[in-house]
Structure 1
């Protein structure tokens, strides 16, 4: 019993000596002892003069559970997974997709002679703009040009009034365009459509569509060529089978 007390006093003296060396002039009698707040009541710490308990630095054992927060890997994994899913969804919905044009087969609704070897043909068409994006687009302008080989026969500009096409939908523009044939072309069309030697005749026509639209603040231009063989029959007469 005496040996144990002697050993404790020796350790206590050595600790006080270390404390005096650190402070320079602190006496062991001035050192106060208090229960260690992080040792579960099983240890004590010494407070030097001028110090307060709030200034103490507590030593926590390496195996203390407080140094190993639970489910940290789970939380980090969930955060990374959610960020990856959110990024994938953003890319999926914001990634630009195709915008296509489809022109229904033009239909001649009439023709008229306007002079020597000049014929005017009225054609009715429907232009469909197909939006495959998951966001709406805004159509700025629609222009149709009709040609036969290198000769321009007519055209039209459709006032779309900044029409909006919602996601994954189609908008149709119905229009009529007047085609004028002159010279030899007009003479040929007049003979064909007047039915001097009556039979079905066809006109090889190229429709060129130009559409300007806006997607995600970016202006895009879409061009498409449609080739058709137009039937030209005598007015008031149906085509033979």
Structure 2
């Protein structure tokens, strides 16, 4: 009987597509701990060399990023830092510009009227003045009180205090009328001067104005001194500006 002839060549099994995909995946993802794709490390223990992590474990695993990853070297870092610093400086300058305290001024405008009352031993004068209060701030200013003191020849002859005044809006001006400001003069020579038959009875009156204001959570005092002339001989003083 003849021995059946058998070929010495073995038939190779066809390549499995799944195996080829796994080989490609392993070639694409370097071994665990390797940054230059050289097989010097172990297989990733989390993805088991497949390049994928098990579903449902995303919040339990830690990703390893190579040192040469571009995400670790952001571009234009200096530009972004410079833009941020410039923006912060601009914002601070704007805040300082609008919040920085500015002046609040008192400007005497005119004498509106003077009423003269002759008493046996003195002369009383009721003066009405008009003043302007200017607010240069970008915030409203609240007037706490306003005090006017009149001096005749260096002696205090009358004082008036006004409270509960309304506020002045930002970058605006408000007119305040001081009514019934009484000036009392006890000097004998002054009384004789006002009662004389002369046509000129001018008296120079010194006004010291003090205003307490409040804005931006702090109080401030504004003072101004001015001079005006009034006619103490009769009720003939016409409105005239204060110089």
Length-normalised TM-score, structure 2? 0.69
Which residue in the other structure is 2:227 paired with?
A: 227
Q: Is the 8 A contact 1:108 1:231 kept in 2?
A: no
Q: How far off is 1:57 after superposition?
A: 4.2
Q: Residue 110 in 1 paired to residue 115 in 2?
A: yes
Residues 1:163 and 1:37: Cα distance change in structure 2 (over 3 Å): farther
Q: Note the alpha carbon deviations across 1:107-128, whole angstroms, 9 max, x for none.
A: 4432121223x11112110122
Cα gap change, 1:237 to 1:99, in 2 (>3 Å): closer
Cα distance, 1:205 vs structure 2: 0.8
Shift of 1:149: 2.5
Q: CA deviation at 1:138?
A: 0.8
Q: Secondary structure at the match of 1:104?
A: strand
Task: Measure the CA separation in 1 of the matches of 2:43 and 2:221.
Answer: 79
Which residue pairs with 2:94 in the alignment? 89
Question: Which segment is superposed worse, 219-228 or 36-45?
Answer: 36-45
Structure 1, gaps ≥5 residues long: 1-32
**Which residue of 2 is the match for residue 67 of structure 1?**
72
The structure whose residues are more often strand, as a share, is 1
What TM-score does the superposition give when structure 1 sets the normalisation length? 0.70
User: How far, CA to CA, are the matches of 1:106 and 1:67 in structure 2?
Assistant: 77
- CA shift, 1:217, in A, is 0.9
| Alignment match, 1:20 | none
CA distance in structure 2 between the aligned counterparts of 1:238 and 1:145, rounded to whole angstroms: 22
**Distance verdict in 2 for CA 1:67–1:127, change over 3 Å:** same
Map of 2:187 onto structure 1: 183
Residue 141 (structure 1) shift: 0.4
Q: Which residue of 1 aligns with 2:43?
A: 47
Per the alignment, in what secondary structure is the counterpart of residue 163 of structure 1?
coil
SS at match of 1:82: helix
Question: What CA distance in whole angstroms lies between the structure 1 residues aligned with 2:67 and 2:155?
Answer: 91
CA deviation vs aligned residue, 1:142-193 (integer Å, no higher than 9, x gap) = 011111132111121112x2521111111221122121111322222232xx
Taking a change above 3 Å as real, the CA distance of residues 40 and 222 of structure 1, as seen in their structure-2 partners, is: same
Q: CA deviation digits over 1:29-75, x for unaligned, max 9?
A: xxxx7832899995555238xx43456745333xx533332332332
Larger relative helix fraction: 1
Unaligned runs of 5+ in 2: 1-25, 48-60
